[in-house]
Amino acid sequence: MKVWIWICDFMWRIGIDEAGRGPVIGPLVVGALCIPETDLPMLHDAGVTDSKLLSKSKRIELDAWIREQAEIRKWVFALHISKPAEIDRAMALTNLNDHEVTLFASLARKLRIEGRGILQLDACDTDAGRFGNNVASRLPDWPWDGWSMDSRHGADLHFLAVAGASILAKVARDRALESLATEIGIELGSGYPSDPKTIAAVPQLIQGTEPHDCLRWGWATVKDAWGRVHNSPPPQRPDDPNSPPNAQRTLF
């Protein structure tokens, strides 16, 4: 009980960010990191910042460091890996922004901790305030006692907890894509439509009776390539309402 009271006395930060919103290949990964305010200087001193500003090797190094410190210092982190099929099904019902609102809210609920703190979000909507309001609407008991929310663009540059979450998400997505490339046996590149390796891979992934499962079938890149090869629109993803979310998380 003494330890629990000590934890509750901290001012906490929960940072949430995503990696892989725009790719045509591979998952969207949302990461969250919960850390006491007093430990934020450790992130700064380790070089934690927006994952896009770091080399691949530095991201991997910091990912391992964050995980190690989480074990030692009782930080909490969580990842949700949203596979292409989940993305396609969500977009058939709403849109990508709404899907990300759902995922951000889900991780916020999982990482909620007693005490006071700030929930910091890297907004995925052109209107950062609207994104925060939408996430709050998916948190049934928001506002949490002693907590506030800060939703803004570029939060991974402003807030260390969000930067840490961005690193966890980016490394997880990169590993998922590398695993896919090994499994399929072709180069996939970054998965983004602007990547020549990705563009070269897409035609190889639409030769069957339906697009490969690693593709986001609803993306224009896939629709256009499918139409050129098959002279018809691509099929829609079958409904799978009973499929559990592909989530990974680390708790206390």
Number of domains in the chain: 2
Domain membership of residue 205 (yes or no) is yes
Residue-wise pLDDT tens digits, 193-238: 999 999 999 999 999 999 999 999 999 999 999 999 999 998 988 8
DSSP label at residue 245: P
Domain edge (last residue) among 157, 178, 199: 178
Statement to judge: residues 146 and 221 lie in one domain: no
- Residue 10, pLDDT score: 66
What is the value of pTM for the model shown? Answer: 0.90
Cα angle 129, 108, 142; round to 5: 65
Residue-wise pLDDT tens digits, 57-107: 999 999 999 999 999 999 999 999 999 999 999 999 999 999 999 999 999
For 162, 241, 251, the CA distances from 167, given in Å and listed in that order, are 9, 31, 18
Domain membership of residue 17 (yes or no) is yes
Domain membership of residue 193 (yes or no) is yes
Domain membership of residue 14 (yes or no) is yes
Cα angle 122, 56, 65; round to 5: 75
Residue-wise pLDDT tens digits, 112-135: 988 999 999 999 999 999 999 999
- The secondary element (H helix, E strand) that includes residue 79 is strand 76-82
Q: What is the CATH number of the domain that holds 203?
A: 1.10.10.460
Statement to judge: residues 86 and 22 lie in one domain: yes
Name the residue range of residue 215's domain: 185-230
Statement to judge: residues 66 and 171 lie in one domain: yes
